[in-house]
Amino acid sequence: MVRLTSITTKGGDGGQTSLADGTRVAKFDPRIVAQGSVDELNASVGVALLHLAGEEKNVLTRIQNDLFDLGADITIPETAKADTSLRVTQKMIDLLEADIEQVNQTLEPLSSFVLPGGTPSSAHLHVARTIARRAERDVWALADATAINALIGTYLNRLSDLLFVMGRAANDGGKADVLWVPGGSRQAG
């Protein structure tokens, strides 16, 4: 169990922060940018949870815990001698893929691209999806600069897919999806 005795450390007042191994880096370091996007994603998932119940809530609660592990994986350099229990694993990705398959089986087939919206729960899931995509881009930018666990990017990619199908499920199984009408505003009136 993690025990936090002091929230205000003043260690970041000069524009630096510490990685999990104690290394000091700038707050705009790609590792911190990626971890910040994951933190924002986790908060967005928390907002989506306010609008869900049942199994969907259980899945997203598990994902929130996974995202904390994923954030730790980002902030632990690959070269650090650290607790590897916080690394993203293939099993975590497999669970997301099973969730995607289960939800997708219940959905209406797509006939166009889906606009983010519909019900409040769907809209919040779509916001979380877009943050997951940004976090994934930030992770791959980090991977371009330094060695990281490649499964982090894969996890975020699958998570955005899951949030997409969950957003559709929240729109009456896709029946109430808001669909893109290509050139729709030019065709009106």
Q: pLDDT at position 162, please?
A: 98
Among the listed residues 118, 122, 117, 131, the one whose alpha carbon sits nearest the alpha carbon of residue 103: 122
Q: How far apart are CA 46 and CA 18, in angstroms?
A: 26
For the chain, what is the domain count?
1
Q: pLDDT at position 129, please?
A: 98
Q: pLDDT at position 136, please?
A: 98
pLDDT digits (tens, 9 = 90+) for 46-76: 999 999 988 999 999 999 999 999 999 998 8
Global pTM reads: 0.88
Q: pLDDT at position 73, please?
A: 94
Q: pLDDT at position 41, please?
A: 98
- 112 part of a folded domain: yes
Residue 131: CATH number of its domain: 1.20.1200.10
The residue range of the domain holding 44 is 17-182
Intervals of the chain under pLDDT 50: none
Residues 6+ apart with CB under 8 A from 161: 96, 100
- 146 part of a folded domain: yes
- 49 part of a folded domain: yes
